[in-house]
Structure 1
């Protein structure tokens, strides 16, 4: 496993309940600020195997990036179950819910 992937897994596991990080934020924290798409790859391929809190990652606007309606609904439900609220446009208030691991 690549060092970046290992780092991403550790960062994802550090996101507490009720908080979110953006794909770019995770990539930056893992040492590759321009690797947001690689974070998506890690989430897609390794979330189940490593029991990662995939639902705590949103895009830079605070939106759920998943295109599939069922998957979007599942992610939103999981976040709401942790106390994360969405505005009428379906966005998370990043000022309130964004996790800063530093």
Structure 2
């Protein structure tokens, strides 16, 4: 499916999340912007919460705009996300990831050909 094909908002969010490469993170707001849904960061969270596990989306690479994980620090979900991020070489300290170090900056090719509009 090319980016020229019309997709639903949920499909655009899920596709954008699937493009975040191993070892990189993106914020909910960044995903919303890239999916053509500016200002809809909470909607990205909604989409991720409601994605079937069978889709195997790299949800763990999505964090808040300040680099914090969206889950309470001692929760099972935070532990799972930290474990998955560590496995990709991403350091999590105090329930936070350094966006300047690990943030995803898609290149022009991705913006033109892979990111859905």
| Structure 2 runs not aligned, ≥5 long | 1-6, 108-117
* Rg (Cα) greater in structure: 2
After the TM superposition, list the runs of 4 or more consecutive aligned residues in structure 1 that deviate by more than 3 angstroms. none
Task: Indicate yes or no: 2:84 matched with 1:78.
Answer: yes
Report how many residues are paired.
100
Aligned counterpart in structure 1 of residue 17 of structure 2, from 5, 12, 29: 12
Tell me the TM-score normalized by structure 2.
Answer: 0.79
Partner in structure 2 of residue 64 of structure 1 = 69
Structure number with the higher helix fraction is 1
Question: For residues 3 and 49 of structure 1, what CA distance do their matches in structure 2 show?
Answer: 19
How far does the alpha carbon of each residue in 1:72-101 deviate from its partner, in whole angstroms, 9 at most, with x for none? 0110010011000123x3311101101122
Higher relative contact order (CA 8 A, sep 6+): 2
3-state DSSP of counterpart to 1:46: coil
**C-alpha RMSD of the superposition:** 1.5
Question: Quick one: distance in 2 between partners of 1:46 and 1:94?
Answer: 25
Q: Using a 3 Å threshold, how does the CA distance of structure 1 residues 48 and 32 change in structure 2: closer, same or farther?
A: same
Alignment TM-score, normalising by the size of structure 1 = 0.89
Which aligned pairs between 1:1-102 and structure 2 lie closer than 5 A? 3-67=8-72, 69-87=75-93, 89-102=94-107
